Chain A
């Protein structure tokens, strides 16, 4: 056997050899066309997003000039008064309250649903259950709103009044009226129904990626199914639970029509979630948009901008959390 030794200065080595060389790729025509289309489509998303932000910023400028810092601290909405007074403090507060109520109810239900579908339900049922949950996400929020208003609300009032009677030592369950309809609680319950499918879907996807080897290890050690879930599935899916919940939070914060149908708007910040009166940025915009013009319209757009920024931040955070967790690799939100 001959061993050919290359002369390091010889022709097989280029003159400036020890630096990374550029690699050229020659693309075919079809590849270039498709690449162009894909880049354009991808770019469109960002451009539209940017344009929305820009539009909101420009249109809300007038109102923000008028209101100044008061826009974030005032709780009233009187843009046509002289001088005009308006701010999103109460709106933002109630938006968050309703979203938090929705999540507190939705997340445990979603985790339970996800675990049932993945670990307990018979295999032949699994596909249909998953489809059914996804179908729930597709029901228009108007339908949830009407159902919540006409069907659920009258049936929730009993629960509200029971909680007010027995749990009033917790400030949030205190009431100062006997009107329990159109409350943040009722709105929160209805929004939670809309959030459950989203959270379930993310959490289920993450749980289903729990490594088989670790699940078998837990069972082979004499663990029960529940023990296995606690030891392997839930710790593995923690990132998915947090990320899915935040994705649900984003949805809950932006929920409009269902909340608008149920609440009776107030501009007062109060911790009492069971009694009549609540609000939300999105519902407020929807309810006032038709009659607004001039500064009033600009003020509504400014409220929209605030909502846009908040949901953008929440959704970005959720994506980051899911992607960073051990379970999140390979999961698309």
Chain B
């Protein structure tokens, strides 16, 4: 018998590898934002360097959340929302036509204030949800699930029940599951909008540890109302403030140490020392 033209050719597994991405620098310049006719943010400029945790602090209603949502194009999903200025990711304008919004959000992940796992999915499926949504194939799903859950500090608590529903976890665990889910698509930037405000102190500490551990592989921007948290996790701080009936602005930005110990603006000093807000 001739050497068989074997019935089934061995199929090359053409699985596009996930691009391994480096943390990137995010630069916002001259950003203003409106909801309808109401201006909520005016001329905000901020550089959020790679491998750095940047904390956005300030009293409620000063535009921090709006600003962070502008950084991955979530702002435009709110009806009536508009904006001016630009945001660049390693020099690429995310509001230009070079990057589609879906690609932008893939590279710039987000964790919300309220944990939002997909309750109909298992824990493992939740971690992989972003890949499924973007149609990215992974060679070794189990390894990725373990890697991301470990990074998010959740692996030991859930490794025996990866098939349980994502909704069965506690609030703090859900938030870490959501962080794992955001990490699974290998973002260059991770935005966190008050990730600990709905959590107990233990979960908060766990997430702060996670943030510190992630710093080398992803640029982190975090909105927080908790001064101690900002001091603990960030290297850079931006203080937002909105005067009555005026849009929010950045009053002062700089190294966290400086903002907390030697602020240049008296309003910053008042705020970080708990005299208002």
Chain A interface (Cβ within 8 Å of chain B)? 123, 211, 213-214, 216-224, 227-228, 231-232, 235-236, 326
Contact = CB atoms under 8 A, between A and B. Distances in A.
Contact of A220 (B110, B117, B118, B132): B110
Contacts of B133: 218, 221-224, 227-228, 231
Interface in B67-122: 72, 74, 77, 79, 102-103, 105-107, 109-110, 112, 114, 116-120
B178 A217 contact: yes
Interface of B: 72, 74, 77, 79, 102-103, 105-107, 109-110, 112, 114, 116-120, 129-130, 132-134, 178, 181-182, 185
A222 B134 contact: yes
Given A222-B105, A224-B102, A231-B129, A216 B134 contact: no
A221 B116 contact: no
A305 B110 CA distance: 58
B129 to A, nearest CB: 6
A326 to B, nearest CB: 7
A223 B116 contact: no
Contacts, number: 69
Main secondary structure of the interface of A (DSSP, over half): helix
B183 to A, nearest CB: 11
Given A216-B112, A217-B112, A217-B178, A222 B130 contact: yes
A216 B105 CA distance: 11
B118 A123 contact: no
Enumerate the 7 nearest inter-chain pairs by beta-carbon distance, A residue then B residue, closest first. A222-B106, A223-B133, A221-B130, A213-B116, A220-B110, A217-B116, A227-B133
Nearest to B181: A221
A211 B116 contact: yes
Contacts of A221: 105-106, 109, 129-130, 133-134, 181-182, 185
Nearest to B114: A213
Contacts of B112: 213, 216-217, 220
Interface core residue of B79, B105, B185 (most chain A CB under 10 Å): B105
Contacts of B103: 222
B139 to A, nearest CB: 19
Contact of A123 (B74, B79, B114, B116): B79
Interface core residue of B118, B133, B134, B181 (most chain A CB under 10 Å): B133
Contacts of B134: 221-223, 227
Nearest to B103: A222
Contact of B118 (A219, A222, A224, A232): A232
Given A211-B116, A232-B118, A220 B72 contact: yes
Given A222-B133, A222-B134, A216 B77 contact: yes
Contact of A222 (B117, B120, B185): B185
Contacts of B74: 216, 219-220
Given A218-B118, A228-B133, 4 more contacts: A220-B74, A221-B109, A221-B129, A224-B102
Nearest to B136: A222
Contacts of A214: 116, 118-119
